[in-house]
Chains A and B, each alone.
Chain A
Amino acid sequence: MSKRIDVTDLNVYYGDFLAVEGVTMAIEPRQVTALIGPSGCGKSTFLRTLNRMHEVIPGARVSGKALMDGVDLYGAGVDPVAVRRQVGMVFQRPNPFPTMSIADNVLAGVKLNNRRISKSDAASVVEQSLRGANLWNEVKDRLDRPGSSLSGGQQQRLCIARAIAVQPEVLLMDEPCSALDPISTLAIEDLINELKEQFTIVIVTHNMQQAARVSDRTAFFNIAGTGKPGKLIEIDDTGTIFSTPSVPATEDYISGRSG
């Protein structure tokens, strides 16, 4: 249940504006790939192109290729909805559906798609997903309470449970811990370590230590200046990036001298 993504020469445009230029990278299966870089350098934009969520923004488009196990995500016959079912996403701010209970939030991928599911199947999906997101023990007694009754960290884990309940191949995380306190962050990081047994994970983070802690490979993005496109500077094993990066800009950023 995990696939690799090969991105070749990917450009992202917002209207006429080139936001991200010439990204070529391989995202390995069952590994955590961290995207780091200063604000506005296109990490999140690039991340969104991996499940075609950029198309939600009017005027956004891409050129280039992103092959998931050989299938072009942007191919003519490929339905963005199908892509998103295989590539799940967790957002910066926890966003459980306010009208749904905790259990319904986990089942959202099923229920919103009008798919029928038997009660016992639903219960097992809920339990498995919540266990997978390390949330089961905290919420098992109040599954029919609204999702918004949980704390921020729990809500974010609920969102992760919701994302893995549809059994995607790849999980994208856009700064999943930036709105959380250190303890909730730790819980999410532990969770990421467990999830990578099953999923390919791409995570955007502003936190160097987090990138160093959770990721196997790290990609550094940078931007030359306002109005210029963001670029992938380098991608390598996390250990290499944090000890002996090949580009000086990476070292400057990691050591806090820029960005």
Chain B
Amino acid sequence: MSLATATPPVPTRPRSLGRGVQTSRRRLPRWAPWSILGSAILLSLAVLTLADATSVPSVLALAAVVYAGGITVTALVVEGPRWAKDRLATTVVIGAFLVALIPLVSLLWIVVARGLRLFSWDFLTTDMVGVFGSMTTGGVQHAIVGTLLITAAAAVISVPIGLLTAIYLVEYGRGPLARAITFLVDVMTGIPSIVAGLFAFALFTLFFGPAYRAGIMGAVALSLLMTPVVIRSVEEMLRLVPNELREASLALGVPKWLTILKVVLRTAVAGIVTGIMLAVARVIGETAPLLIAVGMMTKTNTNLFEGRMATLPVFAYNEYSKGGVGIDRAWAAALTLIVIVMLLNLIARFVSSKFAPKAAR
């Protein structure tokens, strides 16, 4: 059989490769899924109107089921069983994706919609000094400062510890010690945040007495939660660095520590920054440990080592429990927190893309 045999122009019939394997078959036109989707929605609407149970979720849910059945059966009839399975799988995957999006989108929607009622430049730049009762003035400046300071202090504590631990585990750790550390890190990942708060509180009470309150207590509590996340993500990133690069560097007569510093860390830096940012995002919204360790304050306190500090999550909690205009303040504070996390993520992405290996293929 020669490969050079000319293919017949425009196959009018399905061509067979023998034993029923066909190279071409009738396909549904591109508009078919959409029209089936439209009919499914109309049908569900009609059925539910008859049953007097019309609501957006119920119509969509029924329409999804009707569509999945309809497209599969249609495909089975027109295109054959293999395409029918493909259509069904596509429908299920897209459906699962949409379901997964619902909580995310609705959360963002609610926070933005309710947060915007009080959110303004004034809200970001005033504190709560002299705000009583149902006054609608006041803002979160003190809480933004507190959150940023405490989170930064937590990062200063946990990033070096996490980075060095991860380097040890990936580049040096062998045997029982490394296994023990990995196990303990796993255990630490599961520490409830309230326990971290109580631990920090107890620790500082031992040294400074029960009346001592300071931002650093909260930072210690948060670093307890942050360190295992940093270790885990940095470890993953370092393991992704190909061994060939380490060998290439070592074979050039570069000592191991310089190889780690200038090849391994340099290659993984984009992922490391992303991992650290995820860890920051993980702890920046922690409420319980800060409530215990740092408390609340109506004005800005920039001294991490003395006195209570306001933080955004605790502020939101406090205001919400006051009720009234406090609830609006809580939502606006939540929006502020989300905006901060988003900004941090944007910065991380920028840094990552700047340092990422330039794979120009």
Contacts and interface: CB of A to CB of B under 8 A. Distances in A.
Contact of B253 (A85, A111, A148): A85
Contact of B249 (A86, A93, A108): A108
Contacts, number: 90
B210 to A, nearest CB: 50
Interface string A138-152: 000000011011000
B255 interface: yes
B267 A108 contact: no
Nearest to B241: A98
Interface residues of A, number: 33
Contacts of B52: none
B251 A99 contact: no
Interface string B245-275: 1111111111100110011001100000000
B267 A99 contact: yes
Contact of B357 (A108, A111, A146, A162): A146
Nearest to B253: A85
Interface stretch (A6-14, A50-58, A188-196): A50-58
Given A95-B247, A97-B245, A97-B263, A109 B361 contact: no
Nearest to B266: A99
A112 B244 contact: no
Contacts of A162: 248, 252
Contacts of A166: 252-253
A112 B251 contact: no
Interface string A83-108: 11110110101011111000000001
A99 B357 contact: yes
A109 B253 contact: yes
A97 B265 CA distance: 12
A91 B248 contact: yes
Contacts of B258: 112-114
B174 interface: yes
Contact of A163 (B245, B246, B251, B355): B251
B50 interface: no
B252 A149 contact: no
B352 to A, nearest CB: 13
Nearest to B267: A99
A82 interface: yes
B253 A95 contact: no
Given A95-B242, A112-B259, A113-B254, A53 B361 contact: no
A203 interface: no
A60 interface: no
Nearest to A79: B255
Nearest to B259: A112
Given A56-B247, A99-B266, A109 B252 contact: yes
Interface string A102-129: 0000001101111000000000000000
A135 B280 CA distance: 46
A98 B359 contact: yes
Given A93-B244, A95-B244, A112 B252 contact: yes
A146 B358 contact: yes
A56 B253 contact: no
A241 B246 CA distance: 36
Given A58-B174, A112-B263, A53 B250 contact: yes
A35 interface: no
Contacts of B358: 98-99, 146, 148-149
A159 interface: yes
B134 to A, nearest CB: 58
B247 A53 contact: yes
Contacts of A86: 253
Contact of A56 (B250, B252, B255, B263): B250
Interface in A161-184: 162-163, 166
Given A112-B259, A149-B361, A82 B247 contact: no
Interface string B325-361: 0000000000000000000000000000001011111
Contacts of B357: 98-99, 146, 148
Contacts of B251: 51, 53, 84, 88-89, 91, 163
Nearest to A110: B252
B267 A98 contact: yes
7 contacts: A84-B251, A89-B247, A91-B247, A91-B251, A95-B247, A97-B248, A146-B360
Interface of A: 51, 53, 56, 58, 81-86, 88-89, 91, 93, 95-99, 108-109, 111-114, 145-146, 148-149, 159, 162-163, 166
Given A51-B251, A97-B245, A166-B253, 4 more contacts: A81-B255, A88-B252, A114-B258, A148-B359
